[in-house]
Structure 1
Amino acid sequence: MSRIRILSEHLSNQIAAGEVVERPASVVKELIENSIDAGANQVDVEIEGSGVRLMRVVDNGCGMIEDDVLLCLERHATSKIQEESQLGAIATLGFRGEALPSIGSVSRMTIISRDQEKETGTLVELRYGALHAVHEQGCSRGTVMEVRNLFGNVPARKKFLKSARTETYHVEEVVKNQAIAMPEVGFSLRVDERTVLDCPSGSDLETRLRYIFRYDGPLLSLEHSGAAATDSIQVGGYLLLPEAAPNRSARLRILVNGRAVQDRMIRNAVTEGLHGFLMKGYQPAGAVLLSISPELVDVNVHPAKREIRFRDHRQVYQLLKTVVKSAIQKHQEHARAQLFTPAQKSINENQERLSENLIMAEPAAKPFQRPLDSAIGIARVQNKHVVPDEQPPVMEKPTATERPEKVSEHVFSAPFFQHEPTAEKRDTEFAGLRLVGQLFSLYLLCEKGDRFIVIDQHAAHERILYGQMKRDYLKKDIPRQGLLFPVTVELGPDHMETMERYHDDLQSLGLEIDYFGETTWVIKSVPAVISVLDPISMLHDILDMLYESKGSRKQVVAGVIDDLLASMACKAAIKAGNVLSPQEMISLLQQMEESDVFSHCPHGRPVVKTFLQPEVEKWFHRHGG
């Protein structure tokens, strides 16, 4: 007797349901996709009991005649694909014809549908795969899908569902994803008779995204409408500012041809495009909408259609990375225009005015009358080697009552400024900003119109130095500090091999290191900006980073050098606790204005925070003045 048998249709549908119907959210996703494919411009979703008790999806699409309502319950019955050639260029969200029979086999499902040309509709009721009722019924044009008691006939499957809160969350995510993919379509979601989402039709993507993410801050606009080599790909969408990523509702949503997918390559491309702007542990947030010719993407590589495959993933990766970089650069230009306006007078005149209007609480203490870079021991030079030509000024020893509890790395005089008490208000503006003073020896406080602006002096200067060193590195012109007494260092086998492999790259970084013999190397010069650090420890740290990094030599060098430049900039920048003179604050603002990038430090921390006057007034309950 034959051991191989053909499975019954009912059992086949239940097996298929195991792939298609993972949880209530899977059902909602399939039903919404059918509504979109049917041309609906309004889709209303309602669930009860996290979707297990009831899922109802109502649309105003084209609807179905009675024969089609019955046919759609047959496995592999679909109106969306007719011939084999269409498999290579699928343009609809659904196409396999498995969803409805699979869902119907593990639930009690009711379909009420009315074709746009008909006066009445059809009701079909299915109970765990068995047809229970079919009759004519009056109804609105479109389709109503009701799914009750999900997994009622397979209780073992129901045991694997998560908590009601988790399952409801996944349903919400499905509706939100589709609402972002189709901003022109109206969506609503009711959970246990409570409206949690209401997106009107005819919306634009930005409005829809702000509503979904509950976000009213600036957005990075992603735009690419095609070029000669990539006109088959269009990129749209918006990203939240990198520091807004922790927003609970904010995560990166990826939509390809209107289909919500999970794609690591796209996520990595966006993350790489935001390199230097995302803090460690943060992830990009927003929506990336990719429109690509259907023949260039395979959507049939996952049973639930959550994953896709691109024909040329490298092209997509590079394009997305470039688009994101362009978006963050445009944000810099916008932020600069918002923060700075062309100064009416020269920087020197502004410095003179500020010095006149800011006085010291203790007349004996005077600010350093030096440029900002000199104040922190950074020399701007044309040649590669820096030779100190002057000793730092001798500071007066503070008294016991004046001695700070913690001494910062760079010693500054400790001025405390306040406005000169005159009846007439003096002009203390730079490039449209009125400098108020310094807070906690860390933040510059400025005023502009109805805005109160706080600037992190360390993060701002760190970004400026990083940009300068990055340009110098690319030109192989990083300033060096020659060591008066060269330092010898002994290297182990791993570090020896790493040194030999990356010796030229270290030279470009400003490290002059020569082989002495056996396992000994001699350090003759170091990057000027970190000349105060221990050269041996610094070299070991650099070699550790290079040795532990994975990837091709080019990738390792690019990643490690970038991290090293960021670390060097951090060590060299003015610190918390450094009290700046008026000239130094003005110099910092000037360098920010002149920098290509200034909004975030190399590690992703924001530099500037702006408060509107109404926000400040709200702190003191001064509503309406």
Structure 2
Amino acid sequence: MSPERTEIRALDPETVDKIAAGEVVERPASVVKELVENSLDAGATGITVAVGSGGRDRIRVADDGVGMNEGSVRKAVEQHTTSKLRDVADLERGVSTLGFRGEALYTIGAVSRLAITTKPRGSETGTKLVLAGGEVESVEPAGCPEGTAVEVTDLFYNTPARKKYLKREATEFDHVNTVVTRYALANPGVRFALEHDGREVFSTTGQGDLQATVLSVYGREVARAMVPIEGLAAGPLEGLSGYVSDPETTRSSPAYVSTYVNGRYVRSKPIRSAVVGAYGTQLAPDRYPFAVLDLDVSPGTVDVNVHPRKMEVRFGDGEAIEAQIEKTVRETLLDHGLIRSSAPRGRSTPEETEIAPSADGTDGTDGAAGSNDTPEPGSGAGGDRPTGASRQAGEALKRSNDAADGANDTPRSAASSPPVEREESTEKRFSSLTRQATFGEPDEPNYERLPDLRVLGQIQDTYVLCAAPKGLLVVDQHAADERVHYERLRAELAGETTTQTLVEPVELELTAREAELFDAHEGALARVGFAATREGRTVRIGAVPAAFDATLSPELLRDALSACLSGDPGETVEATVDELLGDLACYPAVTGNTSLREGSVVDLLGALDGCENPYACPHGRPTVIRIDREELAERFERDYPGHAGRREP
């Protein structure tokens, strides 16, 4: 490397400005957030957000706030200008506004082409200012309504490295949708409208009714399930308002737990944990409720500058606030009769049953899906139970398999032969680890992937012990059978996809976010076998992938939509379905605490050997562990000096 490349030098002001702007403006949703906050601080009673191509091509945020005159709009696009701070004392006391209007406009304008059209209330003439790359190109009078409209185009046109890392259009719009939804929920007294490529996604009434706002963005099903926070447990919070859902109305992602501090949206794992903790055992470990909660705290007791974009906060007495939130939410749920102190809710009443079309032509539901069923006792080692709707589907699949097996006496593996009737079966069970016989093994084991095994027996009705040439092998029967079923399901989905038509099509109500995700991924969902159409917020499902069985709960589709963008933004629907296959494989698999016949063990090991990867279940847990001869010798201290010269026993 040349000396010139290693020399330390100061960057020029233009480069510094672009770097600083890029740190704040990461994607279209960052722009929307800043502009919506400006509109709210300007006293707007109506805000319209319209984006094109997910915000990559165009973003327009218009409000009916106080507006600006020509002098103010000129200052607003300069660096380090704001109407919201007077001196450092304001910063130290805790800012009551959402953002710094001038700073946001300057930052956005540095990495885009920006046009501001604005008119103060009571003024006859407005002003239009055009900015490109941070430089003012023109300022002229304009005819426009009172308020301010900011239009951003060609985002990151002058920072190609930043533009290159923007995600797919659907991903970017999902982030925009999330931002607007959060501010709409925080401000039910403001009319919000969100448009994408000329199509309205949702709009709120702005009449101050939070439940009506929930209805607008999440749909009728969720709105009906929300209960208001009433009362406040003792603690440092000055107030806590909002809604939480009943324990049956959940999703597989925490994205719908929205928390605010003095009207500002914040991400806070402690607050979210407090909300979820209030439900206790009424929620499955992988389910999250809907919640819209606003914490009222004294500005001087909370630090909003922990995160560069003020997305996180730090409380002076965080533990006490968490305890206060958890107790308040729990008491609210108890007061409404939504949680109990004993068994989890789920299949206790007809209106809580799952959506599962049955063979007689009915859809098997009288109400909301029971998505919070907990694993059955003795369901094997923890950590493998599937999530949400796939749990429901798996349980239905398991029940049908159990019925076919006759009293659940003979758990099946994917490669096993048809079940043997109990009365006619002469097959032995593993009754003792001290038996001398070799059980059901072939004369010459010919496994391809597994080592040659000699089955010794079963312990704790969960693990199969096998002798191998290099030591002792222990097989987790549930994890092994799960791998077998997973590879069977995956093979059935490979190649030409076949579908299973539901006896009765099932309708699901989606949130605004889920509806947009459906549109973006409808083609991919069809490729894996989902036949579904959308009208408004309702999706009508007529068929599911045949590999999932006709009893699959269509709720799986909703979780698939949510999962598409909740993790890696580049993850495809196909990848999401593959994860769901792993979940579904769990339920027909033999569980722990199940006594197996000798032949069943041999069948299971043979099926496991036929798997592409016989050494781990779909969730990554090992199916087989080996205890080497050396470890056995060491544990029994066979190298103890007193054994020297003695004959081997």
Normalising by structure 2, we get a TM-score of 0.50
1:70 and 1:210 map into 2 onto residues whose CA distance is 40
Please say if residues 222 and 324 of structure 1, whose CA atoms lie closer than 8 Å, have aligned partners that are also in contact: no
Corresponding residue to 1:134 among 125, 139, 143 = 139
Equivalent residue, structure 2, for 1:561: none
Alignment of 1:362-377 (within 5 A): none
Q: Deviation string for 1:216-243 (max 9, x for gaps)?
A: 354353536657753x521111122222
Equivalent residue for 1:180, pick from 174, 185, 190: 185
Give 1:61's match in structure 2, choosing from 28, 42, 65. 65
Structure of greater Rg? 1
Equivalent residue of 2:71, what SS? helix
Task: Assess if the C-alpha contact under 8 Å between 2:248 and 2:370 holds in 1.
Answer: no
What does 1:333-482 correspond to in 2, within 5 Å? Answer: none
Q: Does 1:233 align with 2:247?
A: no
> 1:240-283: CA deviations, max 9, x gaps?
22222128897211122111211111011111111111013112
Bigger Cα displacement from structure 2, 185-194 vs 217-226: 217-226
What corresponds to 1:70 in structure 2?
74
Contact between 2:205 and 2:212, CA under 8 Å: does it hold in 1?
A: no
1:298 to 290, 293, 303: 303
Q: Report Cα offsets for 1:308-360 as digits up to 9, x if no partner.
A: 1111111210111101111220221799xxxxxxxxxxxxxxxxxxxxxxxxx
Distance 1:280 1:247 in 2: 10
Q: How does 1:571-582 map to 2 (within 5 A)?
A: none
Answer yes or no: is the 8 Å Cα contact 1:212–1:249 preserved in 2: no
Confirm or deny that 1:146 pairs with 2:158: no
Write the distance in 2 (CA, Å) between the matches of 1:212 and 1:453: 19
The alignment status of 1:278 with 2:283, answered yes or no, reads yes
Name the counterpart of 1:102. 107
Letter in 1 for 2:215: R
| Aligned residue in 2 for 1:16 | 20
Distance in 1 (CA, whole Å) between partners of 2:69 and 2:256 is 41
1:28 matched residue in structure 2: 32
Match of 1:221 in 2: 227
Does residue 169 of structure 1 match 2:162?
no
Conserved 8 A contact 1:254-1:261: yes
TM-aligned CA distance change 1:247 to 1:120, over 3 Å: farther
1:317 partnered with 2:322: yes
Contact 2:128–2:140 under 8 Å retained in 1: yes
Who is 2:116 aligned against?
111
* Structure 2 CA distance for partners of 1:228 and 1:146, relative to 1, 3 Å: same
1:5 CA drift (Å): 6.4
Q: Deviations over 1:113-154 (max 9, x none)?
A: 111132111111001111100111111100010000000111
| Mapped pair 1:255 → 2:229 | no
Aligned to 1:43, which of 47, 60, 69? 47
Q: Deviations over 1:355-383 (max 9, x none)?
A: xxxxxxxxxxxxxxxxxxxxxxxxxxxxx
> What is the CA distance between 1:453 and its match in structure 2?
12
Mind listing any 5+ residue stretches in structure 2 that lack a counterpart? 341-348, 351-365, 378-458, 462-649
Distance 2:171 2:259 in 1: 21
Contact kept, 8 Å, 1:111 with 1:123, in 2: the verdict is: yes
- Relative to structure 1, the CA distance from residue 240 to residue 453 in structure 2 (aligned partners, 3 Å threshold; closer, same or farther) is closer
Deviation at 1:93, TM superposition (A): 0.4
C-alpha separation in 2, matches of 1:298 and 1:82: 18
> Are the aligned partners of 1:262 and 1:306 in contact in 2 as well (CA < 8 Å)?
yes
Provide the residue aligned with 2:385 in structure 1.
none
Given that 2:242 and 2:294 are in contact with CA atoms closer than 8 Å, whether structure 1 keeps it comes out as yes
Q: Does 1:120 align with 2:128?
A: no
| Kept after mapping to 2: 8 A contact 1:44/1:189 | yes
- 8 Å CA contact 2:189–2:206 kept in 1: the answer is yes
SS in 2 for 1:75: coil
Whether contact under 8 Å (2:94, 2:304) holds in the other structure is no
Give 1:204 shift. 0.5
Secondary structure at 2:98 match in 1: coil
Q: Does 1:331 align with 2:339?
A: no
8 Å contact kept, 1:222–1:235: no
Q: Distance in 2 between matches of 1:245 and 1:100?
A: 38
SS at match of 1:276: helix
- Please list the CA deviations of residues 288-319 of structure 1 after superposition, one character each: whole Å capped at 9, or x if unmatched: 22121111111111112211111111121011
Alpha carbons 1:105, 1:129 under 8 Å: kept: yes
Q: Are the equivalent residues in 2 in contact too, given 1:107–1:128 (CA < 8 A)?
A: yes
Q: Secondary structure at the match of 1:206?
A: helix
CA distance in 2, matches of 1:148, 1:306: 25
CA contact (8 A) 2:253 2:288 kept: no
Aligned to 1:197: 202
Tell whether the 8 Å contact from 1:58 to 1:143 is kept in structure 2 after alignment.
Answer: yes
2:87 pairs with 78, 83, 87, which one? 83
Are the equivalent residues in 1 in contact too, given 2:24–2:30 (CA < 8 A)? Answer: yes
| Distance in 2 separating the partners of 1:220 and 1:453 | 13
CA contact (8 A) 2:248 2:368 kept: no
1:220–1:327 contact (8 Å) kept in structure 2: no
* TM-score of the superposed pair, with normalisation by structure 1: 0.52
Instruction: List gaps (5 residues or longer) in structure 1.
Output: 336-432, 435-450, 463-535, 539-625
Q: 8 Å contact 1:113–1:139 — kept in the other structure? A: yes
Q: Distance in 2 between matches of 1:220 and 1:124?
A: 45
CA distance in 1, matches of 2:102, 2:308: 12
1:544-566 CA-to-partner distances (Å, cap 9, x unmatched) read xxxxxxxxxxxxxxxxxxxxxxx
Alignment CA distance shift 1:302-1:229 (3 Å): closer
> Do 2:261 and 2:296's aligned partners in 1 also have CA atoms closer than 8 Å?
yes
For 1:407, the equivalent position in structure 2 comes to: none
CA distance in 1, matches of 2:186, 2:94: 19
Offset from partner CA, 1:407-446 (integer Å, 9 cap, x none): xxxxxxxxxxxxxxxxxxxxxxxxxx99xxxxxxxxxxxx
Partner of 1:584: none
Render the CA deviation track for 1:392-420: whole Å, top value 9, x for unaligned.
xxxxxxxxxxxxxxxxxxxxxxxxxxxxx
CA distance in 2, matches of 1:283, 1:455: 13
Contact 1:46/1:56 (CA < 8 Å) preserved in 2? yes
Q: 1:334 to 1:72 in 2, by over 3 A?
A: same
Among all aligned residue pairs of Structure 1 and Structure 2, give the percentage whose two residues are the same amino acid: 39
Alpha-carbon distance change, 323 to 66 in structure 1, aligned in 2, over 3 angstroms: same
Instruction: Say if 1:453 and 1:73 are closer, same or farther in 2 by CA, change over 3 A.
Output: closer
Task: Give the corresponding residue for 2:454.
Answer: none
* Deviation, structure 1 residue 156: 1.3
* C-alpha distance in structure 2 between counterparts of 1:323 and 1:453, whole Å: 25
- The 3 A distance-change label for structure 1 pair 454 and 106 is closer
Q: Which deviates further from its counterpart, 323-332 or 215-224?
A: 215-224
The structure-2 alpha-carbon separation of the partners of 1:93 and 1:454, relative to structure 1 and needing over 3 Å to count, comes to: closer
Distance 1:249 1:213, change over 3 A: farther
CA contact (8 A) 2:232 2:328 kept: no
CA gap 1:11/1:225 in 2 versus in 1, 3 angstroms = farther
